[in-house]
Each structure stands twice: as C-alpha cells, then as structure tokens.
Structure 1
Amino acid sequence: MISHPSWIVLNILHKGGFEAYLVGGCVRDLLLNRIPKDFDVITTANLKQIRNKFHRAVIIGRRFPICRVHIKGSIIEVSSFETVAKHDEEKGKALSSLVPNRCDEKDLIRWRNSSNRDFTINSLFFDPFTCNIYDYNDGMSDLKLLKLRTLVPAHVSFQEDCARILRGLRIAARLHLSFSKDIERAMHDLSDSIAGLDKFRLMLEVNYMLSYGAAVPSICLLQKFNLLNILLPFQAAYINQQRSVKNSMMLMKLFFNLDKLVSCDHPADSSLWVGMLMFHLALVNNPQDALVVWTFASVLYHGNWKEGVEFARENAKLDVKFVPEISGFSETKSDEDLAKEVAQFAALVQDSVWALTETSNLLESMSRYPSFPCSGLVFIRRALQ
C-alpha cells in the first residue's frame, strides 16, 4: 500500500546512509488498512542533503521548512529531524526530564520529534526497512480504540495552533473516531479562534474535509462544534432551520452522493464542492421547478442539450419534496420555456458565487436567516467559479 514514489525516496535516502521513516497520518492510515491521502517522510539527513539527493526538489516553508520532492508525477514531502531539533532547543531542554527509560540516541531523536506533533495517532514512525513501528505516546493504543487524543492538554495544543481543531475534526470524520473529553471541551471553548487563520489555510482544511469522501460527517462535526457558522454561515443557518422544521436536507443529500464517488486516492477537485454550494445556494434563494433542476443537471452531465432534455423528461420525478429548494413539478413544460428557465437558473447559479467570495454578498444572503449569527468570513477564491 506504500506508493512507488515514496519507496523511491525512502530507498535513495537509505542508500545514501541516512535513516528514513514514514511518519504521521500515512502510518496511521496504513495500520487501519486505508489508502493514505499522501505520504510524509522524515530523515536524519538535513534539508540541503535531501535536496542534493534528488533531481527535482525544493525547500519550502519558513518556520518549519521541508523539502518537497517531485518524483514520478507525485510530490513527497520530506522533513528533517534536524529542523525540529533546532527550532525547539529550549523545549528540548524542558523535555529532557521526560525522556523514556532505555532510550538510546536514535530513540531520543524520534521521541523529541514525536513530542512536537498534534495527536497521538499522528506521532507514529514506521521504518519500512526493518518493519518496526516506533510509538512513544501510546498512539497504537488510541488507534485500536479509535480515539483522538492530543499529546499535550487539548487547550494548550489548540492555542499553539488552532488549525489542529479543523485537522482533528477532519481525521475524526474520515476514520469515525471518538474524542477525549478534554478535546471536546477545548474545541467548544476555542472554536472562534479559527476565524483568525490565513484564508489559504482555511481553504486547504475545508477542501480536505469535503473532497476526500467524508464530507457529510465533516459537516456534521463542524456544525456540532459551532464551526460551520464561522466557515459557511449560510449553509449552517440552512441546516439549523431544516432541522427545526424536520425537512429533508438537499444539501446533505448532495454531499452524501459526492462521498460515494470520491476517496483519499481519488479526491474531487475543490471546484466541484464549490460548484455544489453555488448550485444549492441558488436553489434556496430561488426555488425551481423540479424539471428545470433535472434538465440543468442532465445537460451538464451529457454535455448536450438534446440528450440532456430527453433524459430529464424520461427520468424526472419528485420522490422527495425538498423545501425550500423545489417549487413544484411540471411535466407539460414546452422545450422553449424549459430552455429559458434553465438558462435563467444557470445564471443564478453562476451569480451565487458572490455570496461565497464577497463578504457584502454573504451578508445580503444571510438576510434570509435574520436571527442566525454571521461571521462575515469568506475564504473561497473568486477564481474557483
């Protein structure tokens, strides 16, 4: 299950006289018999030595620089034990009293690095040449229990890096993990802090949640911990209202179907879930006849108006009454009227991108839910339309 490009990187470093391990989430996923989203390597070589070992490699990052290796059409991120050791010299002194018993020099290097990671299940090292797993934080035990636990108290961990809140939710959603009690409390207490994250980082984390086959559980967890109303306030208000009146949720049905089509090894492009949000937002604000919606989707799928209309007329039906999205169902609409209404709806879908990319338009859309709070945060780039 280890990718061929990862093996090439590991072998080149190993033959160069360096120790090289798989580390973090890929080890966790392999142990759970899941295909990892990506593979991260850590080595005893320094960054310059790593870069010199490969034809196409570049050092990126300021605070925690890594070497990004381009190989066989893939990108493998390779970090150095030296980087964390230099960055956390003072922390290393403070941790010296906590060194595990019977810890040799190699153990000490791995242990110090593991102590800087976010969750216990992400702190595992795997040596593919000896088939040894190194676990200094009871990560294996938590993995067997399917439990998410931070290495330090959760409030401290999330205050150090609030993006860990989103990462924790994403991992829990994909792997069906339970939370330790201190993580639950910390997530509730510190949820507002994610609004201060860089917009690129927010986009990255949300894309990981929605594009890799676990969108529905991710949305549910974001809603549970009051994070959806920060990231996607319109959608959070919609879900809140639909639950209160016990209506079927078209939005969740859309993402449920997306989850059946994508996975970690076959993720969706971010433009797909952004397009789905645009499509749904347009329907909530401008309910449409079911035949119009069927035709719009069918023409997109077939790439041909005639085939799309024929398919829609043959298969269109209203099994579930989606409110407020669907206004009714007309079987007698002429092709001319249908074309006009589909074109109008397509324009509405396209225009709805502004509510996802411009704060003023988001606030205008939120007038539909006057009693629901709105963060005013937008992090989706206009170029994704």
Structure 2
Amino acid sequence: MTISGLNGFACRSHFALRLPIFHCVRKPRFGSVAAIETLDEPERIIDEKRHNLGGEVGRKYHKVPEWKKLNSKELGISTSMIARPTRKVLNGLRQRGYEVYLVGGCVRDLILKRIPKDFDIITSAELKEVARAFSRCEIVGKRFPICHVHVEGTIVEVSSFSTTGRKFSGDLSYDVQSPIDCDEKDYVRWRNCLQRDFTINGLMFDPYAKLVYDYMGGLEDIRKAKVKTMIPASTSFQDDCARILRAVRIAARLGFRFSRETAHFVKNFACTILRLDKGRLLMEMNYMLAYGSAEASLRLLWKFGLLEVLLPIQAAYFVHHGFRRRDKRTNMLLSLFSNLDKLLAPDRPCHSSLW
C-alpha cells in the first residue's frame, strides 16, 4: 500500500531551519502541565548525606528508588527467549571469563513478553578484547565506540563498561543519590544505568546468574506503563534532544504514557529536535512509522506539538479538519496508518518509501 503525499518528509526546507534555542523553548508554564495525562508527581529532591560516595551533608540529591535484584524466572524470562546469535556472543565472552549482561530495551521487552527489535550486550571486557574473541568483529564509533559482532548474518552490538564509564569524565551536572549498601560491581552497573535514556531501559539481565538488576525503578515504571527519563527530563533532553523522539516512539509502541515531568519537557522542548541533522530525523521518523505503531506515534506527535515541526503539511491537515490535540476520533490520515500498522511489527518493518 502506497500512501501518496507521505513519501518522505512533507516540507524539506523545514529541516534546513536551525532556530536558536531561545526561540524554540517556551518558558515552562507549570499551570499547563495539569492538562497532560500523567501517572505521577515530579521527582522529589531530598536533602541528606549521600550514601557510599562520601557526599557532603546539606547537598541536594535526586532520590533513587530502592534498587532491586530479582530472579529472571519470576519475571517470566528464560534464556530460550534470547536470539541464537546473541547467545553465541554471550557464551563466547563468558567462556573467556568476562561478565556479560543484556541491557536496555531488550530486557524491557522480554519482561513484557514482546519480541525485542535487537539485543544489546555490555561486558567487563575491553572492546579490543571483544574484537579478538570473534573472527568477524569491528569497533565502530569515535565518541562512544562499540563492537559490531557479525554472527549468522546479523549484527550484535557489544559495549564495554570501561568505555561507557568514560562518559563520566567529571562530576555529573546533576546530583543523584547512589544505591544503599551497594558493592563495587553494583556501583559500576548503577553508573552505567544512569547514562541510559529512560528508567524502563535501565535494566540489566545476567542470563547466567538469572538475575535482573533494577537500580532506577524501571520495573515499577513498566508495571505502571510509564515512560520517565533516567535523570531530570530538562537535563536529559538538553543533553540529547533525540531522546524526545525516542520517548514518543517507545510510548507509542508499548502503549505507555509519559510521567508528568517527562511530558512537560517533551512539549516545551519540541523545537529543539531541529538541532538533529536530516538523516537522524529521517531515521527516528522511520522507527516510529515503519514498525507497526505509526498511528499511535502520529497521535503523540500531534498531542505534544511535534507534528508541525516534523511534518507540517500533515499537521495542517489535522488543523483543517478541526482535530484537537487530545482528540480520540480518527481521520483519513490516521486510518491509513492504522491499516499499515496491521501489516507490520518490530521484527517485520516496512521500507521507508511506503510511508
């Protein structure tokens, strides 16, 4: 099914626009936040001594939920749910004595009994050691390098604790209370989790110990069907504005909602996505529209003021037909994408030319 008028972005000149940040970011109006569907209050700030890090009394820290270590069987996860190429990479590193974990969205999807789009591995091995362990492996990326391991016609991404730890070259720009009574390995895992975008993507799964580590309340947010940034949303989206689009994609695909704080800054930082280059915007749009959740993605983009930034002609169509931001009705455009969604899935996407 070809959707005419939606082949690529509707207004190409729109992407050349790079407005200064003070033109795009509206001053927060907390009175407007109440109009957004939410599940919780903004994160509280506590004033106490930092645990295990020698912090000073009197400094303010963002409170971290009590961390959990759960048996994967209790969560319904078995190793048979892990793709065969991923198991080969895990076994190859484990046999050489390295610690290995599955991390990110794949752990979330396993808990939700969904088929992960891909599996990401993190290990205690250095990237050079990972490259030596496999015959077809290359290190890619300069700023945040990872390994691409080629197994059975697929690519398995492997990152290293030592490499990701370098992102914290100095003090954090925000203060977060560390987990209570954590040992050195817990501390390393916790610090890595802080670098991830959302709490539901901050879980780690050790398939050999059959344990799932949750340091930031990700399991509770999965239970509440909530998308919440790992660190304060304003800081998270300023650090990487692509997280705004990832938040929409995840919420649309899983049927989740944003936390109050996350929703507020998705809406008020909408124009900052114009910082992204055209290729990155196209990639993020393809993730939203080509993997079976296009209708839900369009509704969220419209609701939070992102559609007019990305697809202004489609946004104008919504305006012309009197489609309100929180409208539950459908229209021809949404119906077209709804029918497309029935043919697609995260492991069965369509080509971008279709939308």
TM-score (norm 1): 0.68
Query: What pairs with 1:153-164 in structure 2 (closer than 5 Å)?
Result: 153-164=232-243
* 1:92 positional shift: 6.6
Question: 1:270 and 2:349 equivalent?
Answer: no
The reply to whether residue 32 of structure 1 matches residue 112 of structure 2 is yes
- Is residue 82 of structure 1 aligned with residue 197 of structure 2? no
Q: CA shift at 1:249, angstroms?
A: 2.9
Letter in 2 for 1:197: L
Provide, for residues 319-342 of structure 1, a one-character-per-residue CA deviation record: whole Å limited to 9, x for no partner: xxxxxxxxxxxxxxxxxxxxxxxx
Compute the displacement of 1:156 (Å).
1.1
Larger fraction in helix: 1
Q: Considering only CA atoms, is the larger Rg found in Structure 1 or Structure 2?
A: 1
Runs of 4+ in structure 1 off by over 6 angstroms are 92-95, 245-248
Superposed CA offset, 1:249-302 (max 9, x none)? 3322221111000001111121221xxxxxxxxxxxxxxxxxxxxxxxxxxxxx
Determine whether 1:203 maps to 2:272.
no
2:191 aligned partner: 112
Q: Pick from 252, 275, 297: which aligns with 1:173?
A: 252
Q: Residue 61 in 1 paired to residue 61 in 2? A: no
Query: How many residues of Structure 1 are paired with residues of Structure 2 in the alignment?
Result: 272
Query: What SS does structure 2 have at the residue aligned with 1:166?
Result: helix
Q: Which amino acid aligns with 1:249?
A: N
CA contact (8 A) 1:42 1:78 kept: yes
- Give the Cα separation in 2 of the matches to 1:104 and 1:240: 55
Q: Which secondary structure state, in structure 1, belongs to the residue aligned with residue 335 of structure 2? A: helix
Distance 2:345 2:354 in 1: 14
Structure 2 residue identity aligned to 1:219? L
Describe the SS at the equivalent of 1:87: coil
**In the aligned structure 2, how far is the partner of 1:103 from the partner of 1:195?**
40
Match of 2:53 in 1: none
* CA apart distance, 1:187: 1.0
Separation in structure 2 between the aligned mates of residue 92 and residue 103 of structure 1, nearest angstrom: 19
Q: Give the AA of the match of 1:223.
A: W
Corresponding residue of 2:122? 42
Give the residue type in structure 2 aligned to 1:258: L
Unaligned residue ranges in structure 1 (runs of 5+): 274-385
Aligned CA distance change for structure 1 residues 8 and 27 (closer, same or farther; 3 Å): same
CA 1:168–1:248: 2 relative to 1, 3 Å:
closer
Q: Mapping of 1:227-246 within 5 angstroms?
A: 227-243=306-322
The verdict on how the C-alpha distance between 1:237 and 1:86 changes in structure 2, with shifts beyond 3 A counting, is: same
- Given the alignment of the two structures, is residue 152 of structure 1 paired with residue 234 of structure 2, yes or no? no
Larger RCO: 1 or 2 (CA < 8 Å, sep 6+): 2
**CA 1:242–1:188: 2 relative to 1, 3 Å:** same
Counterpart in the other structure of 2:44: none
State how far apart, in whole Å, the 2-side matches of 1:187 and 1:84 are.
26
- TM-score with structure 2 length normalisation? 0.73
Query: Following superposition of structure 1 onto structure 2, how do residues 131-150 of structure 1 map, counting pairs within 5 Å?
Result: 131-150=210-229
Q: Deviations over 1:191-242 (max 9, x none)?
A: 0000110212111111110111100000100111111111111111112212
Query: Unpaired segments of 5 or more residues in structure 2?
Result: 1-80
CA distance in 2, matches of 1:206, 1:50: 32
Q: Secondary structure at the match of 2:269?
A: helix
- Secondary structure at the aligned position of 2:313 is classed as helix
Amino acid at match of 2:197: D
Letter in 1 for 2:352: S
Aligned to 1:15: 95
How far apart, CA to CA, are the structure 2 residues paired with 1:93 and 1:169? 25
What is the CA RMSD across the aligned residues, in angstroms?
Answer: 1.9
Tell me what 2:20 maps to.
none
Query: Which amino acid in 2 is paired with 1:257?
Result: N
In structure 1, distance between residues paired with 2:321 and 2:174 = 51
Could you give the per-residue CA deviations for residues 10-44 of structure 1, whole angstroms, max 9, x where no partner exists? 11011111011110000001100000111111101
Q: 1:225 to 1:2 in 2, by over 3 A?
A: same
In structure 2, the residue corresponding to 1:263 is in which secondary structure? coil
Against the structure 1 CA distance between its residues 241 and 14, is the aligned structure 2 distance closer, same or farther, given a 3 Å change threshold? same
Deviation readout 1:80-134 (Å, 9 max, x if unpaired): 1111212213137986x83322211111110110011111000000011111001
